[in-house]
Amino acid sequence: MDSHQTGHRVSRRDMLKLMGAAAGTLAVTPMLAACATAIAPATSGGAAAPAASPLKLELWTFVNTHARWFREMADKYKAEVNPNFELNVSEIAYSDMHDKLQIALQSGGVGAPDLADIEQGRFGGFLRGSDPGLVDLNDLLKQGGYNDQLVATRQALYSYQGKTYGIEHALTPVVLYYRADVWEGAGVDLTKVETWDDYITEAKKVSTDTVKAIPFEDHGALLRERGSDWFDVDGNVMLDSDQSIDTMNKIMAWRDEYGIADTQTGGVAGGNDWWAAVKEGKWLSRVGADWYAGFFKDNVPELSGKWKAVAMPAWEKGGVRTSCWGGTGSCIVKTSPNVEEAWKFQQNSMLSKEGNVRRYEMTNLFPPFIPAMDDPRLHKPDEYFSGQDLGGLFAKVGPSVPAQYQSPYRAEMGSKLEAAWQDIWDGKTKPADVFKQISDEIRKTMEAEKAG
């Protein structure tokens, strides 16, 4: 039965077992040495010494919900750990922030923050060259006993050549969100749909010339559901593989053969036109990760109670019914004069049960931090999604979330594909031709850099 009916949740032990992580007692680590700005003790005369000057850290992020959560975590850290701590959180537009950060790191850290969020799609670009300018967290994570508490497949996105440069914010389990009132009104029970072929059959019942069951979904997410990706574990280009091309052709067939889909406007997050169309009932389902639930709440709050979610349809009966999509790593800049305090703040926020639970409450990001996954606060009925235990669904599909491997060339590939998608969707170019051209360009760049 589907998780939103049973309220099923996966235990922490099962999560560890299925994800290949060993369950164990949390390691108790000595506190890092007290920083120089700790509160001074009282003098022998009984009068308190002057308070130390504030320790000011700078953090950059490109996500508003992340910014709000980090500010709350900073207030908590100041109240409970270091009263002299101050964190300035700068929210900068996606491209501007990553470009600005990359330039700062390439120039030896001039103008760089102490901490930064780096989106997984752009992370590979920071790995080009001899030094990304970020702190390798391997020893710190190991000493703190955190490796067994983090989902390894998500940490792989920020790991390269044996070093780990970031801590993932979200598990990003992908599910299918749908307008329950419309589908159920047409006599369709999506909880009984198991495969994409089943979905196509049912989607024809709700699709018209102006109303579509689904947009063209993210090729990478659907490819990962099949066990592949744009790069493999060894960094080889897989974009032009037979399976990758077949996946894109199947997505295109949703419109061209079955009439259930069309091109989405506004990119992944959608723009005003997309959300206006959702509000008008012109789109009836959407593949999305945990974070997409927040987009619905923020952009079409008036549709509360009309949406539900189910596990993704599988490509074949009994197959994987989820994927991963997106992700952002919290990183410490190597040239920061406050690396020690930045790490302590990460421990208090990114690597604590309370921090992860609070982030889910504020952002709908289901934690990749295993100790938080079965917390009851992650399993409250969600009013927007018809009272469903959305966290329970994320927990149910979570053990099947596939790996996504990082590459220094992934950001470049993503940029080339971004410029090509519209022509593919419009039928001006064939997926096989575009994927082959981009793959050859990336391979040529890889070979040239290796030779150089």
273-287: pLDDT as tens digits: 999 999 999 999 999
Q: Tell me: the pLDDT tens digits for 255-266?
A: 999 999 999 876
pLDDT band, very low/low/confident/very high, at 9 (cuts 50, 70, 90)? very low
Average pLDDT over residues 383-395: 96
Mean pLDDT score of the chain? 88
Q: Count Cβ atoms within 10 A of the Cβ of residue 77 and give its class: 0-12 exposed, 13-18 middle, 19 or more buried.
A: buried
- Domains contained in the chain, CATH given: 3-27+55-171+326-400 (3.40.190.10), 175-323+409-451 (3.40.190.10)
Task: Please say if the pLDDT value at position 20 is more than 90.
Answer: no
Average pLDDT over residues 120-134: 92
Average pLDDT over residues 102-125: 95
Q: What is the pLDDT of residue 318?
A: 96
Q: What is the pLDDT of residue 49?
A: 39
Unique residue bearing structure tokens 């593949």 = 287
**Is the model more confident about 29 or about 119?**
119
Q: What is the pLDDT of residue 3?
A: 33
Average pLDDT over residues 240-246: 98
Q: Lowest mean pLDDT: which of 27-36, 155-164, 402-411? A: 27-36
Average pLDDT over residues 91-106: 97
**Whole-structure pTM value:** 0.80
Highest mean pLDDT among 30-34, 43-47, 289-293, 338-342 belongs to 338-342
pLDDT band, very low/low/confident/very high, at 268 (cuts 50, 70, 90)? low
